[in-house]
Amino acid sequence: MSAWSGAAAASPFRPALAHDQAGRLDGEYAGDHWNAQRLGVPARRGRRAARFDAITQDWLRDPAKRWSRFRLATGCAFATISSGALALSRFSAFLAEKHPGVTDERGITRPVLEDYLSWLLAQGYPASTRAQSLSMLRVFSGACHRHGWLPGLSHDAVIYAEELPFHHDQVARFIPGFVMAQLESPAALDRLVHHYPQPRGGPDRDRAARR
């Protein structure tokens, strides 16, 4: 180790610098506008911001930021954090519009969540947006139950996997009836027989040969 590196390691200013950096990061995380570059988190251009200011309920916004910081620490991409903040902002808007009397997590009940399912549909969101909103809320609720971030949250306040709308909104591609009628017409069936003729002797001889 060089004399310079040894002196730097022993410098009393290094702990102070580390403490200042940690304090700066804590201040960034306490804010309602997160910037990936200022947080030292990699993110693609155009996806470096996460906003929590649209979550108007303090009791919901603070755990949302705590959950988001925890997810970053476990390796989630910053774009996922931004999507989670947006999803919880939608839930916040729903509460403000439909359940303004909810003043803490104890007001989040299973009937309220069922009402949220209907509200998302009434807003005209596509299935993918509704699925993202509900899945993010589902993961957030599970983390709050596990870590005690919303201690008053009822254990039956959950979104079930089968309630995610993405798979239910897939449109089956049926063959139109008039096309089936053409395919099953005598002329079409005769063409099939022409292209795939029966073995000599017909099907009876074929069955006898297999005995």
Rg (CA), the chain: 30
- pLDDT tens-digit series, residues 8-38: 444 444 445 455 677 788 889 999 999 999 9
pLDDT value for 60: 98
Q: What is the pLDDT of residue 8?
A: 42
Its pTM stands at 0.69
Check residue 155 and give its pLDDT: 93
What pLDDT does 23 receive? 75
Q: What is the pLDDT of residue 10?
A: 46
- pLDDT at residue 45 in the model: 84
Give me the pLDDT at residue 174, please.
Answer: 45
Question: In the structure encoding, which two tokens stand for residue 130, read together?
Answer: 């509704």
E strand segments, 36-167: 49-51
- Spatial separation of the C-alpha atoms in residues 188 and 180, rounded to whole Å: 11
Q: Rounded CA gap, 130 and 166, in Å? A: 8
Positions in the chain short of pLDDT 70: 1-20, 166-184, 188-189, 192-211
